[in-house]
Amino acid sequence: MSEGVHVVCPHCGGVNRLPAERFTQGSAREGHCGHCKKSLFDGHPVELDGAALARHVARNDIPLLVDFWAPWCGPCRMMAPVFERLTAELEPRLRMAKLNTEAEPETASQLRIMSIPTLVLYAGGGEKARVSGAMDAGRLRAWIQQHL
């Protein structure tokens, strides 16, 4: 990380390099994209499609937690506000994102998403952990901490 921390912009997909000190000093949240000039962290989950997911997994140096969900899924809707709150709390140490499996069935199939909601934690360019089912804030926070 001496060269910096690579962060994919949630708006344009550009890859930015932030000084590692910004993460240790807590000022990374204030970072802006060098391409589109928008905030790199805004306290909300990033909406991804299959291509954007691949880019975020491959190019982010920070861990990525993806909520695979669908609009018709009751447990998904129940967990959405929890996921939103934790995003504001955990950024920029963790990028949190959502992928609508109804809109991206091929991606869900390729990743073997069998039930929703399913949460997948990516780090170092690959999948690190996976869990299915809705969780409250305490259980979700504990699961994230266990795997980071």
| Catalytic (active-site) positions | 73, 76
**Inter-CA distances, 7 with 15, 85, 105, 140, 148, Å:** 6, 21, 26, 23, 17
Residue 131 backbone phi and psi in degrees, to 5: -150, 145
What residues does 67 pair with on adjacent strands?
Answer: 98, 119
Which tokens go with 32?
């802006």
Nearest to 122 by CA among 102, 142, 140, 95: 95
